[in-house]
Amino acid sequence: MSKPILHMAGITKVFNTEEMETHALRGVDLSIYLGEFVSICGPSGCGKSTLLSILGLLDLPTAGSYQIEGTEVAQLSLSEAATIRNEKVGFIFQSFNLIDELSVYDNIALPLRYRRQPIPHAESDKKLKECLEKVGMSHRASHKPNQLSGGQQQRIAIVRALVGTPSLLLVDEPTGNLDSRNGDAVMEMLRQLNSDGTTLCMVTHDPRYADMASRLLHISTPQLVKEPHETAL
């Protein structure tokens, strides 16, 4: 097996309020390898979203080790986390999370705008147009998100996640806001991306789509992770 893109060991997440302590994750061990399509499922409140947010450096674990491509990232500063998120992680959200005020083109250009090393305009423009072409949305480049259907918005969200060429694509309930036809199309697109070499980690409730992954992880309680296909945790 190839080297893991990310590796978690003993990841714990505790939310503290004035009244109580809530353990969202307890001692999670997880490795995801290059080219894998990992699906994480489980009941509501089991910590799927918390895990995804720690995977995407949107949140810090309370304890444990987390490495992305061999670099320890568990306790990065906000700024360092933002840089790694921008360069190595792509996000696809259930509710698309496109910015309504910006055109499709400007939405997908966002990750490139935050690069440490600025990308020349001609180069980024070419890349953006190619990406739109790939998902058949070139003709919608100047449209605003609210002028698109749900399926089209999710395709744009996928393009935005991929445009920065991330090492890992984190996908949170990608079909949650779509009808079955659009949901199928989006899943087919993700499957195709994986076939082309993109590493994916997807959280989903839908067993049909979870089964499309090469590895399925099931979180039943905050501290327990089952692996039906492979032992990797």
Partner 1 sequence: MIKTKDLSAALQSLNRVRRYSATIILTLGIALGALVTLFNLNYQLLAAPLLPYPDEDRLYVINGNLYQNKQLRLANNSQYPALVEIYKNDTFFESIALVYFWEDVIRNLTGSPRVNVSYVSPEYLQLTQAPLALGRQFNTDEGLDSRIPVAVISYQTWEQRFQRSPNVLEQSLQFGEVDFRIIGVTAKGFIEPQIYKQGRQTAVWLPWDFNDTQETHRNNWRGFLPFRMVTAKLKAGIDPDSASHELSTLMDAQDQAALAGRSSSIERSVEYRLTPFTDKILGDSTTRTLMVMGGTLVLLLIACANITNLILSRAAKQQRNMAIQVALGAHKKHIFFALLSEIGLLMLVAALLAILLTAVSSEALKVIAAEQISRLQELTLNWPTLLFALLCALFLAVFFATIVSRQINYRVLNQMLQSSGKGYGVQISPLIRKVLISSQVAMTCLLIVVSLQIFLHANRLINQPFGFPLDNVQVLTLNIGNLRSASAAERESYLKAIRQRLLTHPKVQNASLSLNTPISISRPLWTTSLSQDASRQNPVMAKTTVIDENYLSILGMPRVVGRHINAAGGGPAYQCRRVFR
Which residues between 152 and 191 bind partner 1 (CB under 8 A)?
160, 164, 172
Cα separation, 50 vs 46, in Å, equals: 9
Q: Using an 8 Å Cβ cutoff, are 175 and 147 in contact? A: no
Of 25-33, 56-64, 194-202, 210-218, the segment contacting partner 1 by CB under 8 A is 56-64
Instruction: Specify the 3-state DSSP secondary structure of 201.
Output: strand
Taking CB under 8 A as the rule, does residue 102 contact partner 1? Answer: yes
Distance between CA atoms of 92 and 162, rounded to whole angstroms? 9
Q: How far is the CB of 195 from partner 1 (least distance, A)?
A: 25
Query: Of 195-224, which residues contact partner 1 (CB under 8 A)?
Result: none
Question: From the list 14, 34, 82, 119, which residue makes contact with partner 1 (rule: CB under 8 A)?
Answer: 82
Can you tell me the distance from the alpha carbon of 217 to that of 38, in angstroms, rounded to the nearest whole number?
7
State in angstroms the smallest separation of the CB of 169 from partner 1.
Answer: 13
Q: Does 101 bind partner 1 (CB under 8 A)?
A: yes
**Cα 233 from Cα 9, distance rounded (Å):** 9
**Would residue 44 be called left, alpha or beta, if left means φ above 0 and alpha means ψ between -120 and 50 degrees?**
beta
- Note whether 198 and 127 are within 8 A (CB): no
> What is the Cα–Cα distance from 182 to 147, expressed in whole angstroms?
16
Among 97, 138, 167, 177, binds partner 1 (CB under 8 A): 97
- Minimum Å distance from CB 65 to partner 1? 20
Cβ 224 to partner 1 shortest distance, Å = 21
* Binding residues vs partner 1 (CB under 8 A): 49-50, 52-53, 56, 58-59, 78-79, 81-83, 85-87, 91, 93, 97-103, 106, 109-111, 113-115, 160, 164, 172
